[in-house]
Structure 1
Amino acid sequence: MKTRLIIIVMLLMILTVLLTRNDERIADTLLGIINPIKQNYKNFTQNIEDKSHSYIFQKESIEKLNKENRILRKRLLEQTHYIKQIKNIYDALPSLSRLPVHNISITETISYVKLNSFSQIILTKPKALKKNKLYGLIQGTVVAGIAQIRNNQLYGYLTSDYKCRFSVFIGKNRAPGIAMGVEKNEMIIKFIPKWHKIMIGDKVITSGLDDIFFADIPVGIVTKVEVQSSYKVAHIKTYSDIFHPKTFFLINDPKATLVQNFDSNATYLAIPSPAVHDQEQNRSNIITVEHNQTLPIISSIPGRIDQTQEEIIEPEAPLEKVEPSKKVKKKKRSKKKKFESEDLDLF
């Protein structure tokens, strides 16, 4: 028993020494052996935890899911309304890429790369990731860092790591800069043009111009501004929680998919027909006819409405007014004849 314990302790000591050394080859080989075991163990424990929560905390989980369901239904209605409007764009521009495009994956933390460093982590690797490409990591709704495949492992560099670099905009004037990791919950933004006014408290967001992140994702708040030889430097406090790196959203492709494959020659625009053009010119005439539909004088309305319709409709009203005047005249004439006949009889 003592020999077994001594061998186990010696192996653990050798592993700790090898992992703490800066030799990447040894570390990568060891991580390639250990990480699958860690991942299987994590999946097993997560399944047990989910089942326990489903039975013990069933009431609380149902209430929470009901609230989330209401919010998601609201967003679904907004998105369906937006998609219906986008269909008109696809009719005019059929060469645009179709939605949905699966450009976001979910990844989870397996372990830290080093025991004494909380800025680099190893993540579960989604499918169809490319080598030598930087991917953006989002924690909730804020920037958490970047990820890259190296030696068949997906490494994550959080906002506190010096390898985490991406482009940002600062403040309302959207001053450009490059954010770099410094230490826990702190980043530095370099290469800010001197003529931009940077104030303490300005919000920092991603620019979306680096092919890593979407645009307008929150990063942090400016805490300090310095002026160097040819540009300004801003220190920011980040929103992300680097001490609890559990689940992240990985951005596979941050490009605007709606404008991909655009071809101006394949654009179909609706050309108005001559009949429609005539109707637009005669809109005032159509309105007058619609008002006249309520009058009992008009017996029928022709299928096509022209400008001469007004000249036909207007004379009909005075014709009926003339008729009673004619009857009155006839009555007066008849009375005169009677009086004349009576006068003749008297003589």
Structure 2
Amino acid sequence: MNKQALTLAVLLTVLVGGVLYFTNFLQSPILRLNLAIKSSYLDGVESIQRAVDEHFNQQRTIIDLHQKNRFYEQELLNLHQVADEYQKLLQEHNSSFRITPDTSLVRTLSYVRFGDPHRVWIEMEKFDPKRVYGLLYRGYAAGIVVSKNKRPIALLNGDVKSSYAVNVGVSMAPGIVRGNNSRRLIVEFIPTWIPIKVGDEVLTSGLDRIFMAGLKVGKVISITKASGYQSAVIEPYFYGKNPAYFHVITKVR
């Protein structure tokens, strides 16, 4: 092998070694960057997937809780009905249990007019404009539903035209509760010969067929007498900002 061929072989060896060295030198950060990008991408995909899964799990949970809430509210109404019948059974000894009432969930749409928190439009299926319906919130009497222009309108407890039959205290003194455009309600036409007192609980009587008997309305905070009747001011259990949903008693049987 001559000197020129030997020199060429050495140069070729150095060149190949240099290419391999610099190739590995350059590939290393590129590979690290590529792995970092791929890892970030996979982490992002997994994070999005977890977020999607959590969203749908939460949605399923919310739907399930709504269904359970409707079930428990219906069961609460049934218990009110049974409790009332049980009291009558103890008193009369010959009472039979009635069939439980029908209820439906309704949605609040808007105020009828701004500045009046006691009237709201509601969305209600199978609405009969000739009827008056009992309105409930978490098992408490919340007002009534009537027709306005053949649309269902909820008159909440504070409205002066929201009225229904009630009993006051353990003596079950009959009366009619109505709103007063304020937080407090008034029970009127209570016979004077039936004793009532501050702190007595006011319950629906069911005699008007709007509510079933035994639903809680409020407690007596003051009493006045005039014209052969007593009147009681009560603090209602339901009063405040309008919730998004109510229950309506569609049938009392």
Equivalent of residue 156 in structure 1, options 141, 154, 157: 154
| Aligned residue in 2 for 1:225 | 223
Secondary structure of the equivalent of 1:172? coil
| Aligned residue in 2 for 1:196 | 194
AA at the equivalent of 1:104: T
1:232-243 to structure 2, matched below 5 A, reads 232-243=230-241
1:204-215 to structure 2, matched below 5 A, reads 204-215=202-213
Distance in 2 (alpha carbons) for counterparts of 1:156 and 1:139: 12
Distance in 2 (alpha carbons) for counterparts of 1:184 and 1:54: 44
> 1:20-69 deviations in whole A, cap 9, x for unaligned?
xxxxxxxxxxxxxxxxxxxxxxxxxxxxxxxx99618839x58x95xx69
* Greater relative CO, 1 or 2 (CA 8 Å, sep 6+): 2
Gaps of 5+ in 2: 1-51, 83-97
Distance in 2 (alpha carbons) for counterparts of 1:169 and 1:131: 27
Distance in 1 (alpha carbons) for counterparts of 2:53 and 2:175: 45
Distance in 2 (alpha carbons) for counterparts of 1:228 and 1:191: 10
| Aligned residue in 2 for 1:173 | 171
Q: For this pair of structures, how many residues does the alignment match? A: 178
Distance in 1 (alpha carbons) for counterparts of 2:141 and 2:113: 22
Q: Contact 1:158–1:242 (CA<8 Å) still a contact in 2? A: no
Q: Contact 2:102–2:252 (CA<8 Å) still a contact in 1? A: yes
| Aligned residue in 1 for 2:133 | 135
Structure 2-normalised TM-score? Answer: 0.62
| Aligned residue in 2 for 1:117 | 116
Secondary structure of the equivalent of 1:138? strand
Compute the displacement of 1:152 (Å).
Answer: 2.4
Distance in 2 (alpha carbons) for counterparts of 1:212 and 1:252: 9
Gaps of 5+ in 1: 1-51, 83-97, 256-347
Change (3 A) 1:53 1:227: farther
> 1:264-297 deviations in whole A, cap 9, x for unaligned?
xxxxxxxxxxxxxxxxxxxxxxxxxxxxxxxxxx
Percent identity for Structure 1 against Structure 2: 32
Distance in 1 (alpha carbons) for counterparts of 2:200 and 2:54: 43
1:282-321 to structure 2, matched below 5 A, reads none
Change (3 A) 1:114 1:194: same
Structure 1-normalised TM-score? Answer: 0.46
Distance in 2 (alpha carbons) for counterparts of 1:135 and 1:170: 22
Change (3 A) 1:53 1:188: farther
AA at the equivalent of 2:210: I
AA at the equivalent of 2:238: S
Compute the displacement of 1:150 (Å).
Answer: 2.2
Distance in 2 (alpha carbons) for counterparts of 1:145 and 1:228: 26
AA at the equivalent of 1:136: G
| Aligned residue in 2 for 1:55 | 55
Please state which structure has a larger fraction of its residues in strand: 2
Moved over 6 A (4+): none
Q: Contact 2:129–2:152 (CA<8 Å) still a contact in 1? A: no
1:334-345 to structure 2, matched below 5 A, reads none
